Amino acid sequence: MVDFYALARPLLFTIEPETAHGLTLKAMKAGLMPSCGSISDPALTQKLWGLKFPNPIGIAAGFDKNAEVIGACFKMGFGFVEPGTVTPKPQHGNLKPRIFRDPANDAVINRMGFPNGGMNAFKANLEKFLAKGQRTAGAIGINIGMNKSQKEPAKDYAMLIKMLAPMVDYLTINISSPNTPGLRDLQSREPLLELLSVVKDERRKACGDHPPPLLVKLAPDLTEAQQEELAQAALYGGVDGLILTNTTLERPESLPEKFASEKGGLSGQPLSAKSTEVVRNFYKLTGGKIPLIGVGGVSTGAQAYVKIKAGASLVQLYSALVFKGPGVVNAINTELLKLLKADGYANIAEAIGADHGA
């Protein structure tokens, strides 16, 4: 089969990264992206939090900030989508340029700062998608964050939950993006427990007895002591899932100096092993009691499988789409199926946390 993305890539890579992303979204909205179909196999399906996941590969937050291309992401073969990060008020984010690619290392640095159209526009887009009745394609989670100007984070998260929680399958509290001052401070026991208490209260008011599961997305740059503290807080605070990880502030020496000197969060291949170790640690620290979503530098089925065996129930990606194009989703699922079969697993659920023994 002709790989159209491989042909288009040299041209796309002459365009400034955020402009290229904008064009991609436009093409997706216009239905111009090729529909890849999806890999459908019982071995890849899973029920988690009472939700059906047709396959374990999801699109990570940040790709579809305003919930504009949910349907097109499902058509690419993703088993679940996570639009956002959305904030209550619209905001511009940081000055451009704020996305940088390093094609030699399949790496991206971004310092977007949550540019988005705000929760009203997000809700309208979500409603438009839901009205089409295609919800069965996979699960829809939303990733929520606070406005840069907000000094009391819980207020923003509560507002977002009140408006959006009844419409979605899961909620992700993002407290780990490096580009919003103060946000990562929520990654410690007391601030997190306080936030969880407000958020869960609001979720109960908005959704009653059947609330969507509450996930928390963490950074890869946590010390072992911080990971331990947060694992205990997540168990104590009733967190339903953890997304591991967001981008890193670290700069491996292998990166070219000019690229590495850009401020922001690094994603893609240089993050792969580091985020897997965080998944492995949290699986151990929580005794496998909280489902984990592994994200960071996944671009092959083998890399997804490594995260699953380390303890991830599901996997997400973003940067791999930039370097490999939409075909990467089905390629990962196809390879994953082969790897599961080769190891004698009848279903993906049997492989989760396999590294840790029975």
155: exposed, middle or buried (C-beta count within 10 Å: 0-12, 13-18, 19+)?
middle
Instruction: State both tokens at 77.
Output: 């073969």
Residue 177 binds ligand FMN (CB under 6 A) = yes
Q: How many Å apart are CA 36 and CA 201, to the nearest integer?
A: 40
Say what the alpha-carbon torsion angle 305, 82, 247, 192 is, to the nearest 10 degrees: -110
Residue 9 CB, shortest distance to ligand FMN, in Å, is 17
Taking CB under 6 A as the binding criterion, the range among 35-43, 188-196, 316-324, 338-346 that sits at the site for ligand FMN is 316-324
Helix (H) or strand (E) holding 216, with range, is strand 214-218
Among 94, 105, 110, 227, indicate the residue that binds ligand FMN (CB under 6 A).
110
> Of 20 and 43, which CB lies nearer to ligand FMN in the complex structure?
20
Q: How far is the CB of 270 from ligand FMN (least distance, A)?
A: 9
Shortest separation between residue 60's beta carbon and ligand FMN, angstroms: 3
CB of 98 to ligand FMN, least distance (A): 8
Instruction: Check residue 61 for interaction with ligand FMN (CB under 6 A).
Output: yes
Q: Which of 297, 301, 325, 353 binds ligand FMN (CB under 6 A)?
A: 297
Q: Does 171 bind ligand FMN (CB under 6 A)?
A: no
Cβ closer to ligand FMN: 141 or 353?
141
Q: Could you tell me whether strands 107-110 and 99-102 are parallel, antiparallel, or unpaired per DSSP bridges? A: antiparallel
Looking at beta carbons only, is 83 or 211 nearer to ligand FMN? 83
The active-site residue, picked from 38, 176, 177, 272, is: 177
Which CB sits closer to ligand FMN, 40 or 254?
254
Whether residue 177 lies in the annotated active site: yes
* 333 part of the interface to ligand FMN, by CB under 6 A: no
Angle formed by the axes of helices 301-310 and 327-342, to 10°? 60
Question: What type of residue is 273?
Answer: A
Per CB under 6 A, contacts with ligand FMN among 11-50 are none
Q: What SS3 class is residue 171?
A: strand
Please give the distance of CA 14 from its chain centroid, rounded to a whole number.
27
Six token digits for residue 274: 């580091």
* Assigned token pair, 105: 């290392």
Between CA 109 and CA 121, with CA 115 as vertex, the angle to 5 degrees is: 140
Residue 195 near ligand FMN by CB under 6 A: no
Closest residue by Cα to residue 121 from 160, 154, 157, 148? 160
DSSP symbol at 316? E
**Interaction of residue 268 with ligand FMN, rule CB under 6 A:** yes
Comparing CA positions, the residue from 229, 260, 263 lying closest to residue 113 is: 263
Each residue 196-235 as x (binds ligand FMN by CB under 6 A) or -, in order, gives ---------------------x------------------
* Position 295 contacts ligand FMN (CB under 6 A): yes
Residues near ligand FMN (CB under 6 A) are 60-62, 65, 85, 99, 108, 110, 112, 114, 143, 174, 177, 217, 246-247, 267-268, 271, 295-298, 317-320
